[in-house]
Amino acid sequence: MSSIEEKLTEAIPRITAAIDQGQRRYAISELRPFFKKRIRVSAPLRSELANCLRRVELFYPALKVLRPAGLLTQDEARTKIIYALTLISIGSNREAMKILHALDLDSHPEARLALALCYFRRWDYENAIPQLEQLLLRPELLTADNILAAHTYQGVALLFDKSTLKRGLKILKQNVDQTSVTESPVRHLNCLFFSCIGLLLDGQLKQVEHYLLKLARSNSSVPDAAAVNEQHIVESFLALLRASLSERAAARRAIQKLRNNLLGQELHYRAILVDYLLGFFTTDTQILERLYVGSGFPKLRELITPQLPKEPQTYRHKLIGDDTSKTVFVLDLGENTIVGRSPHRALLALASSFYRGLSLLELHEAIFETKDFQVSSSPAKVKQTLSRLRHWLAQKRIPLEIVAQKGLYTLQAKRPVELLIPVQTNPQKSALSMRHLLLLRKIEKSFGTKTFDTHAVAKLFSISPSTAQRTILACVKSGALKKLSDGPQTAYHLA
């Protein structure tokens, strides 16, 4: 064993304990000598190093440590699971699910837990619950921390269905009693946080106040309070209590301030949750539509849809900017941009993410759709696409700029801008990419109820017949178009 391996072997337990205690800064300082330069260590040790880097949110160093070039063919399951967890943390659920589904979930319970987390992060509680229940049938295969995590995810997932709300609350209350703020501060505070949500949804307002006091006391004893930012949790529930007590104007002001605080602290999931609960209590259509379009979660849309008078087809998203000019620049992302180009896909992704910036990996997934992320080459491709988009915005004199901060990319306006964002609402079209969705909309507008063939679509978009054929087949597969006949005279029409 080399000297660097010996040092890392000794450091890993110490770093893991520090992370469990919420001491993120100390953990990063201990990790720094091992990822700032390339080191040669055994595969299992490399996996543990990457896992520690992931847990302190150093995601790209974790991906580099894992050397993903041969990941899907030769590396051990543990490495693949950690790689998938890192992808989930950055927001690449599609590629993570691809890796996890290729593993034997019965033999590798950590892979099943990671898959459940993947569903959980997408608000897809319907698919997360069966995975968690199957996982908890064999607790002897799990570590104590994994059992606690599985119970927490299960409890939260059950909160968003009236028939299982009480059961979810019971699980979360048990977890609060079983965890300690000194031994597992982050897990303990998360259980308190989600217990408050369940109690709010169940209308138990006095119990919420009791748990808020617990949160405040627990927060004061956390070793690294800056890492968990639980002060914002207390503020959030005070604001939501005002909303539940029908103090609508005060609640709106408090929520707006709170949302900005949460987003500033990168607590994006909680910011979305705060808006969801405010919309739940006040039935405010504007808040619900904002969530519907700007959260990016199809399953969350399903929760919101029954509370909307109708599903929005186009959403008007206003960006104010520093210039207080009264003139508003209007940009229709469905009509006035070039369909099918990579910069347009990047623009649609950035414009449709209201609650947080997008990482390079998330942008890669939006731009290149089915291609896997390669840590050695993909970031450069995404940055090249963003450079082309910046050039296009300047060329068209559109007062938007792409700003990168802490590895996340957002759209900012130089003066007031109104973005007209096309919204995907038809369940038949849920399998379509945004590119195919926009092409389909133009087909609907041009042909209506008439039949058409591949050559007509190629002529409409000025693309090759083969590209037109791929587009049509994708729409047929999703059920949005119907095929009328076979052979050289094949015709199609809208479903």
**Residues 286-303 pLDDT 10s:** 888 888 888 878 788 888
Q: What mean pLDDT, rounded, does the chain reach? A: 78
Amino acid at 282: T
Rounded distance, CA 186 to CA 191, Å? Answer: 9
**Among residues 470, 319, 474, 488, which one has the least CA distance to residue 400?**
319
What pLDDT digit, counting tens, does each position of 151-196 carry?
988 998 998 888 899 999 999 888 888 777 566 666 777 787 788 7
Report, as an integer, the average pLDDT of 402-417: 86
* Other C-beta atoms lying within 10 Å of the C-beta of residue 375: 18
In tens, the pLDDT along 75-119 reads 578 888 888 888 888 777 888 888 888 888 888 888 999 999 888
Closest CA to 218 of 244, 183, 169: 183
pLDDT at 240 over 70: no
Nearest CA-CA partner of 329 in 316, 314, 345? 316
Judge whether residue 283 has pLDDT over 60.
Answer: yes
Distances (CA, A) of 455 to 251, 418, 471, 490, 495: 56, 36, 12, 10, 19
The pLDDT assigned to 167 comes to 92
Dihedrals φ, ψ of 237, to 5°?
Answer: -75, -30
Kindly report, residue by residue over 349-408, the tens digit of the pLDDT.
888 888 878 888 888 888 887 778 887 788 899 999 999 999 888 888 888 899 988 788
pLDDT value at residue 115: 92
What DSSP assignment string belongs to 95-149?
Answer: HHHHHHHTS-TTT-HHHHHHHHHHHHHTT-HHHHHHHHHHHTT-GGGS-HHHHHH
Q: Give the span between the Cα atoms of 291 and 273, in whole angstroms.
A: 9
φ, ψ for residue 492, nearest 5 deg: -135, 160
- Whole-angstrom CA distances from 309 to 230, 285, 389 are 35, 8, 36
The pLDDT assigned to 376 comes to 76
The phi, psi pair for 408, rounded to 5°, reads -115, 140
What are the residues facing 318 on neighbouring strands? 418
The predicted structure's pLDDT at residue 144: 82
Q: What share of the chain has pLDDT > 70, as a percent?
A: 78
Q: What is the pLDDT of residue 227?
A: 41
pLDDT for 322 equals 65
- Set out the domains of the chain in order of their start, with CATH numbers: 315-422 (1.10.10.10), 429-494 (1.10.10.10)
Confidence (pLDDT) at 247: 60
**Of 139, 148, 145, 150, the residue nearest 115 (C-alpha):** 150
Report the pLDDT value the prediction gives residue 168, as an integer from 0 to 100.
92
CA distances from 177 to 172, 182, 191, 212 (A): 9, 13, 10, 15
d(CA 38, CA 147): 34
The pairing of beta strand 329-332 with beta strand 400-405: unpaired
d(CA 222, CA 269): 21
Task: State residue 221's pLDDT score.
Answer: 55
Q: Distance between CA atoms of 53 and 47, rounded to whole angstroms?
A: 10
CA–CA gap between residue 381 and residue 260 (Å, rounded): 32
| Distance (Å, whole) CA 42 – CA 39 | 10
Dig out the tokens for 262 from the structure.
């949460």
Beta-sheet strand order (sheet of 417-422): 314-319, 417-422, 329-332
> What are the structure tokens assigned to 93, written together?
């659920």
| DSSP letter string, 208-263 | HHHHHHHHHHHHHT-TTHHHH-THHHHHHHHHHHHHHTT-HHHHHHHHHHHHHHHH
The per-residue pLDDT for 295 is: 81
Map tokens 């038949």 to a residue. Answer: 428
- Amino acid identity, position 211: Y
Give the global pTM. Answer: 0.73
DSSP state of 428: G
For residues 117 and 95, give the distance between their C-alpha atoms in angstroms, rounded to a whole number: 14
The whole-number pLDDT of residue 427 equals: 44
Helix (H, G, I), strand (E, B) or coil at 79: helix
- The whole-number pLDDT of residue 226 equals 39
Determine the average pLDDT of the residues in 125-135: 90
For residue 339, the model assigns a pLDDT of 44
pLDDT score recorded for residue 386: 92
Name the pLDDT band for 228 (thresholds 50, 70, 90): very low
